[in-house]
Amino acid sequence: MTDTTSNTDTPRLQAERDAGGSIVDLSVTVNGTHHQVSVEARRPLSDVIREDIGLTGTHLGCEHGVCGACTVLIDGEPARSCLMLGAQAEGTEITTIEGLAGPDGELHPIQQAMMEAHGFQCAFCAPGFLMSAVALLDENPDPTTAEIREELSGNLCRCTGYQSIVAGVETAVRVMKESGK
């Protein structure tokens, strides 16, 4: 699937050139769909995903790498999309929260588990927690509570006190073990 956007002559990009900034042509695959966009070189990947590609499930909480809400998977590894230029993602495969559910809309076990565990409240932080949790479970399908807490400590939540989020990951571990996924 290709979703090509060609927008080199928007007022935004024209002004960017006047301001002395480079424009880069960027080709990335997000959740299995290929995208070709022209963006400012200074544009962080998070803004490219949200504004140029239009997937707003990835959130920006601090834009300096501390809160973790913008965490996505780049070629399967978790990364802060606010601390990467879009240009650095050239040629990569990116997974965002929108890419977790199956093609038929079936929730990923971590999504299902968070629902069962009442993991989140305002859920602004949820995209980052979900992507960090997926990365953790990919690498360590049977983490201890302490390992879950350590791995999730790169993501801030202001609503829950974390206990329900940790419980959600534990639920997902159980479900994934049972279903042999």
Partner 1 sequence: MSSTNRSGLVGQSVQRVEDDRLLRGNGQYIADLDPDNVVHAVFVRSPMPHAKINSIDASAARRAPGVVAVITGDDLKDTTHPFPPLLMLPGLYTPMYHALSADKVRLVGDPVAVVLAESRALAEDAIELVEVDYEPLEPVADIADALSPSSEPLWEKAGSNVVMDHTDTFGDIDAVFAGADRVITERFECQRQSNQPMETRGSLVMVDDDGHMTIHNATQSSHALRWLVAALTDKQSMGASLKAIAKNKDRRSSFASGMKSFLQSNSDDLKDQDNSGAAAQFKKDKSFLGAMNKIGVGLLAKESYPTVKAQDIGGGFGAKGSIAREDIAVAAAALSVGRPVKWIEDRIENLMDGGQAREESMTVSIAVDNDGTFRGLKVDMVMDQGAYPGFPVGAPMISKMIKVMFPGSYKWDAYEIRSRIVATNKGKYVAYRGPWANETWARERMIDVTAAALGISPAELRLKNMIGEDAMPTAMITGPTIDATMSTRKTLEHALTLVDMEQFEADRAEAAERGHCLGIGIASYHEAAPGPPNYWDSINPGSGMLMPEEGYTTIEADGSVVIYTSQMPHGQSHETTYAQVAADELGVALDDVKLVYGNTDKTSFSLIGTGGSRGGPIGGGVVRKTSREVRRQIAEKAADMLECAADDVEIIDGNIHVAGVPARGITFAEVAKQAADDGAKGDKYGTPFEYGTNYNGAGDGGWSTATQICVVDIDLGTGKVTFPRYLVVEDCGPIINPAIVNGQVRGGVAQGIGSVLYEQATYDEDANLQSATYMDYLLPTAMEIPEVEVHHLETHSEGFENDFRGVGEGGMIGAPAAVTNAIENALSDYNARVTTQYLPPTKILELAGQISPD
Partner 2 sequence: MKAPPFIYHRPETLDEALALLTEHGDDAKVLAGGQSLIPLMGLRMGRPAHVVDIGRVPKLDAIHVDSDGAVTIGALVRHEQANKSPAIAEHAPLIAQTMPWVAHRAIRTRGTVVGSIAHADPAAEMPAVVLATQATMTATSTRGDRTIAANDFFEGYLDTALEADEILTSVTFPAWPANAVSAVTEVARRHGDYALVGFVGKLVVGDDNVITDAALAFLGAASTAVRVTAAEAVLQGAPANDESFAAAAEVVSAELEPPSDIHGSTAYRKHLAGTLTLRGLQSAANRIGASA
Residues within the interface to partner 1 (CB under 8 A): 10-12, 14-16, 18-19, 40, 42-43, 50-51, 54-64, 66-67, 69, 96-98, 100-101, 107, 111, 114-116, 118, 120-127, 130, 148-150, 152-166
Specify the residue, 9 or 178, whose C-beta has the smaller distance to partner 2.
Answer: 9
Residue 85 CA: distances (Å) to CA of 13, 58, 82, 142, 166:
16, 15, 8, 33, 31
Alpha helices, DSSP H, located in the chain: 11-18, 45-47, 109-116, 126-139, 145-152, 163-179
**String marking each residue 92-131 x if it binds partner 2 according to CB under 8 A:** ----------------------------------------
Specify the residue, 32 or 65, whose C-beta has the smaller distance to ligand FAD.
Answer: 65
- Token pair of 171, please? 């639920």
Phi then psi for residue 33, to 5 deg, are -105, 135
